[in-house]
Amino acid sequence: MKTDLNRRPLIIAGILLGIGQGGFFDGIVFHQLLQWHHMFTNIETSQTVAGLELNTIGDGLFHVFDWLMTIAGIVALWLAGKRDDVPWSTSTLIGSILIGAGMFNVVEGIIDHHILQIHHVKPGINQLAWDLGFIAVGLVVAVIGWLIQKQPLEVEN
C-alpha cells in the first residue's frame, strides 16, 4: 500500500454527489410530495395554469442542475477509483456526500430563500423559521459529514 494517499478526488466526487442528491431530495420532497413550494412561487403563484407552467419549468431546470451534479459526481468517482493513490474509504465518501448535501441546503437556502426570495421552504406565517431551519439542518449535516470524513483512514479493497 502506498503511504502518500490522496483523498481529494474521492472527497470531490462525494461533494458533487451530495449536492446532486441534496437537490433531488429538496425537489422531490418539498416541491413534489409536500407541494410546499415550487421554484418560483414567490414570483408567480402555482395556483393558476400559467403560474403552474412557470413553476414546473423552474422545477425542471432545478432538477437538471441536480442531475448534472450527480453525473459529475459519478464521473469523478469513476476517475478516482481508477487511481492508485486514492484510498477507497467509505467514511471519506459518505462524509463527503453529507458535506455536499449540507452545502446544498446552506447555499440554496441563502440564495433562493433570502437573497433572491424566489421561494420559501413553507410560505406563510412562520416562513422565516422554516427558511432558517433549512439552513441550520444543512449546517448540521455538513458538520456531521466533515466529522465522518475526518475519521482515521481505513482503506478498503
Domains of the chain by residue range? 8-149
Q: How distant, in Å, are the alpha carbons of 72, 105, 109 from that of 69? A: 5, 14, 18
Cell of 44: 408567480
pLDDT in tens, 57-77: 999 999 999 999 999 999 999
pLDDT in tens, 11-39: 999 999 999 999 999 999 999 999 999 99
pTM for the structure as a whole: 0.91
Q: Cell 421552504 maps to which residue?
A: 121
Q: Would you call 84 exposed, middle or buried from its count of C-beta atoms within 10 A (0-12, 13-18, 19+)?
A: exposed
CA pair distance 101, 97, nearest whole angstrom: 6
Residue 3: pLDDT band (50, 70, 90) is: low
CA pair distance 120, 15, nearest whole angstrom: 24
Give the chain's mean pLDDT.
Answer: 93
Q: DSSP character for 48?
A: S
